[in-house]
Amino acid sequence: MSENISREIIERVEKLRRELTYHAERYYVYDSPEISDYDYDMMYAELKGLEEKYPELYSPSSPTQRVGGKVLDKFEKVTHSVRMDSLADVFSFEETEDFCHRIATEIKEPSYSVEPKIDGLSVSLIYEGGVLVRGATRGDGIVGEDVTQNVKTIFSIPLTLGEPLDLTVRGEVYMPRAVFEKINEKREAEGKALLANPRNAAAGSLRQLDSKICAERKLDIFVFNFQEGSLYLDGHAPVTHTETLDRLSELGFKVLPMRTVANSAEKIIEHIKRIGEARDGLAYDIDGVVVKLDKLEDRRTVGEGTNTPRWAVAYKFPPEEKETVLEDITVAVGRTGVLTPTAVLSPVRLAGTTVSRATLHNLDFIRGLGVKLGDTVVVRKAGDIIPEVVRTITEKRTGAEREFLMPERCPSCNELISYDADGEAAARCTNSACPAQLSRSIEHFASKGAMNIDGLGPQIVELLLNEGLISSAADLYSLEAEQIADLERMGEKSAQNLIRAIQNSKSAGLERLVYALGIRNIGEVAAASLAQRFGTLEALSKATVEELCEIDDIGQISALCVVDFFSHPTNIELCRRFTESGLVTEAVSKPAGDKFAGLTFVLTGTLPTMSRDEASAMIKAMGGKVSGSVSSKTSYVVAGEAAGSKLTKAQSLGVKIISEEVLLDMMK
């Protein structure tokens, strides 16, 4: 320590750190602040100033280290010393009773801890000598990612424990509902895509390579398990799970609320019902209730299964359904001309978000529901993500309800609509100059899976169209920064960034370009197959239906759509302009080998060390295919953390499920 730092300065820094840690704990953990925000901010500013003036006083556990550190290139792998297993799910009270009956055959007079299942992202926190040294995601339960910098930004995680203990705990990181709503309000104002739900938002935030972004997301955590180590300096070994949580609370952790100990299936079910009734009023999302043996010795007796502990289950709530009123039905025109009716609902809180709109697909769907304008309807979220109208409550009709009629003319261009001759229920505008189709086709062209033009969102596309700067996607490549710098929401720097992103997209390659063209029935997988088979845009444009149908991913209808697209003069001219603008119209990557030839993979959940896009690219490079849905033809499902319905379907079909680590081994 430098001799220039006085003992008074050192003591002042230590005192500020202690007081700030104490008051943060009172505020974030116990929701019982003792000082004003202003007083806290003044102490924080004083400490930060002293640490900047005397860098020798740096401490990784200082409260000032919660704002985020350096930007990482990637997350390092972490092998968990204690497996972070998932739990077996039960979906009914009968299954819950069956679990209790099984336990009762092995344990005399068992007691159970019954606690809410927080809908977030599981992490482990490792302390050495009472100091937080590592935070890691669950990953596949064996290997996760080092997210230490990010977990330090969560104020309810203690950086120091006050006692020099060596221990590891497990918790669930989540995004509070209020924070989620504010983020989506801001994103909506900026014209960005909305986050799907708080759970996905929390997972994405915790995996930010820039921890300052994570700090802005204001994540929180509940600690729900003591993994290993010592909870007491005198070596005392806790007897029950409840004792471990009580002790962790004493040490400053924010532990699970609403928990109880029950000794019968009846008491367990009673508490599950209580938690379910309280669900709507919570500040965070829960998706079930965890039931586990409370006595640690009983857990050791019952033991572990292959992938899940035998001493615990997770009761999953059924999809949440709510009643609301269908106030109106609006009709929007998509990029392929399809008219899609959307229900406008009285806002209702559902599965973590406020829902005010839900797709109604087409007129046949509306007739099948028997829904009328003004009806009371039941809504839910498919997969807890996509709002849908489930049924109509006809007994609540007053007589004021009205039938819905699809418009005879396109709401965007006023052209007469038509219905496809192939039996589709979709109404379609066939005017290729329709403004709504043009706007959405350019948005699709710029989207992540297509040309990936960062910054070209719906509002910017609308601005460019309204100002007459573009009339097709090809016009994007003749734009100059000076033309758009003065537009609303732009500016010189934003304009330069957008032009740079547009120019960078030229090298995206044929796979992305084919998908970006927006050919009907051609998704990302089919576009990749077309690019690999024909190699150039010119060759693809001359392909026959017979040649196209020889490709596994292309059927008769898709082949006709491709031929039809390249037969229109407008599309021929569009492709010519893309070529003249310097876009790469050849396949930029060939399979590096055929090791995965004939294999189809489905990716689900958050992978430990790479994004799903990266994993998908690696699979394709080995000659494999990546699908967005699970079927009996799926070869492997690669499952990461928080894998959802795809994992469940794979299990029901008997499809082989592997981890990222196994996938990487297969590539060697």
Residue 72 near residue 143, CB atoms below 8 Å: no
Closest CA to 141 of 665, 668, 657, 619: 657
**Nearby residues of 340 by Cβ (< 8 Å), 6 or more positions away:** 331, 332, 333, 334, 359, 360, 361, 362
Q: Residue 15 catalytic? A: no
Residue length of the chain? 668
CA 59 to chain centre: 34
The two tokens of residue 184 are 């989506």
Task: Give the count of alpha carbons within 13 A of 509, CB side only.
Answer: 14
Strands (E), 501-610: 600-604
Answer yes or no: are the C-beta atoms of 119 and 352 closer than 8 Å: yes
**C-alpha–C-alpha distance, residues 29 and 33, integer Å:** 10
The DSSP secondary structure of 74-88, one letter per residue, reads SPPEEE-SS-----E
* Gap between the Cα atoms of 218 and 238, Å rounded: 33
- Determine the Cα–Cα distance for residues 78 and 60; give it in Å rounded to an integer: 20
Residue 313: closest CA among 510, 115, 475, 129: 115
Helix count and strand count (H, E) for the chain: 24, 22
Contacts with 130 (C-beta within 8 Å, 6 or more apart), sequence order: 160, 161, 162, 163, 164, 165
Q: Is the dihedral of CA 188, 193, 198, 203 positive or negative?
A: negative
Q: What is the rounded radius of gyration, in angstroms, for the C-alpha atoms of the chain?
A: 28
- Give the residues across from 21 on adjacent strands: none
Q: Where are the extended beta strands (E) located within 286-385? A: 286-293, 312-316, 321-333, 338-350, 353-359, 376-382
Helix axes 612-621, 660-667, angle to 10 degrees: 30
Structure tokens at 154: 């969560």
Among 117, 254, 295, 625, the one annotated catalytic = 117
Would strands 376-382 and 386-392 be described as parallel, antiparallel, or unpaired?
A: antiparallel
Which sequence positions are flagged as catalytic?
117
